[in-house]
Amino acid sequence: MQHIVIIGATSSMAEHCARLWVQASPLHLTLVGRDESRTQHVAQDLRVRSPLSNIEVMTTDFVNAARIRQTVHDIVAQAAVDVVLIAHGVLPDQNICQDDVVACDAALQVNGVSPVLFAEAFANAMVRANRGTIGIISSVAGDRGRKTNYVYGAAKGLVSRYAQGMQHRLAHTGVKVVLIKPGPTDTPMTGALKAKGQKMACVEDVARDIVHGIAAGKSVVYTPGIWRIIMWVVMHLPKFIFNKLSI
Ligand SMILES: NC(=O)c1ccc[n+]([C@@H]2O[C@H](COP(=O)([O-])OP(=O)(O)OC[C@H]3O[C@@H](n4cnc5c(N)ncnc54)[C@H](OP(=O)(O)O)[C@@H]3O)[C@@H](O)[C@H]2O)c1
């Protein structure tokens, strides 16, 4: 049975990936969340969808490096990991983060430092086994700093650059790192943006792209795919045009 681990298992994107995975075949699934009852709720739904799967729940503190190390140690001690999807994140209010460095620190920790520490901790165990895939969710927001969300964007930029470095380090091993960059997607995280009328991708489609990208061991997955082109344009806009935009 494949062993898939989901960090931030209550994320809507992650939950939809899990549904696709259990639909394909019974799995050993380890769901890691920060809240026991929310994570159990996701597990219960998946057990109904896939009674033959072995679905476990763990909780941890996502912004405590020692707890991250212990959590990953406990998971890999149980069974070798085939895939880990690192999915947690929160969309902070840019203005609050600019005004208060404590809020800024919290946003940077949970969106940037925490996911890369999970990735690093799993990488070491996977290198020892010389197999496995680490899927890590960054964002198109990490491709170029913009005034409306550069705290979140900078944290995601850390995730993207870190994953790139890990890909380089692990290139000649059996371990793959898949960097996932979703565009705006209809999940609880973007409820406020949706209420303002922003167009969103459907979470089922994004989850399908993530699952396919991980299975194929792609280096970078933009989802929906059009965001690869949009972000190429945004990254190459000259400063005199870029600075006139309210993005
Ligand atoms: N939706 C988008 O438009 C979009 C676009 C680009 C990238 N992303 C990224 O995609 C990933 C999945 O997000 P989603 O859209 O599925 O959002 P979501 O459904 O709102 O899920 C967010 C997840 O992050 C967890 N989380 C939030 N704050 C946390 C904290 N302080 N400590 C630990 N866990 C925390 C939540 O746990 P609880 O259930 O316990 O709150 C939940 O599992 C995130 O990395 C996000 O940044 C999303």
Q: Residue 185: inside a domain, yes or no?
A: yes
Q: How far apart are CA 91 and CA 77, in angstroms?
A: 33
Q: How confident is the model at residue 117 (pLDDT cuts 50, 70, 90)?
A: very high
> Can you give the pLDDT at residue 221?
98
Give the Å distance between the CA of 8 and the centre of ligand 1: 7
Digit-coded pLDDT (tens) for 42-100:
999 999 999 999 999 999 999 999 999 999 999 999 999 999 999 999 999 999 999 99
Q: Residue 175: inside a domain, yes or no?
A: yes
Q: Is 89 in the pocket of ligand 1 (CB under 6 A)?
A: yes
Q: Residue 187: inside a domain, yes or no?
A: yes
Give the Å distance between the CA of 13 and the centre of ligand 1: 8
Q: Residue 83: inside a domain, yes or no?
A: yes
Q: Residue of the nearest CA to atom 1 in ligand 1?
A: 185
Q: Which of the listed residues 32, 162, 189 should we mutate to test ligand 1's pocket, taking the one with most ligand atoms within 8 A of CB?
A: 189
> Can you give the pLDDT at residue 46?
98
User: Which stretches within 3-141 are classed as H helix?
Assistant: 12-24, 36-49, 65-78, 94-99, 101-108, 114-129
Q: Residue 247: inside a domain, yes or no?
A: no
Give the Å distance between the CA of 98 and the centre of ligand 1: 21
Q: How many domains does the chain have?
A: 1
Specify whether the CB–CB gap between 122 and 135 falls below 8 A: no
Indicate which CATH number applies to the domain containing 21.
3.40.50.720
Give the Å distance between the CA of 146 and the centre of ligand 1: 20
Q: Residue 131: inside a domain, yes or no?
A: yes
Q: Is 182 in the pocket of ligand 1 (CB under 6 A)?
A: yes
> Can you give the pLDDT at residue 37?
98
Closest CA to 91 of 7, 187, 189: 189
Phi and psi torsions of 214, nearest 5°: -70, -45
Domain of 119 in residue numbering reads as: 3-242
Give the Å distance between the CA of 199 and the centre of ligand 1: 18
pTM: 0.98
Digit-coded pLDDT (tens) for 121-165:
999 999 999 999 999 999 999 999 999 999 999 999 999 999 999
Digit-coded pLDDT (tens) for 204-221:
999 999 999 999 999 999
Q: Give the rounded percent of residues in the chain with a pLDDT score beyond 90.
A: 100
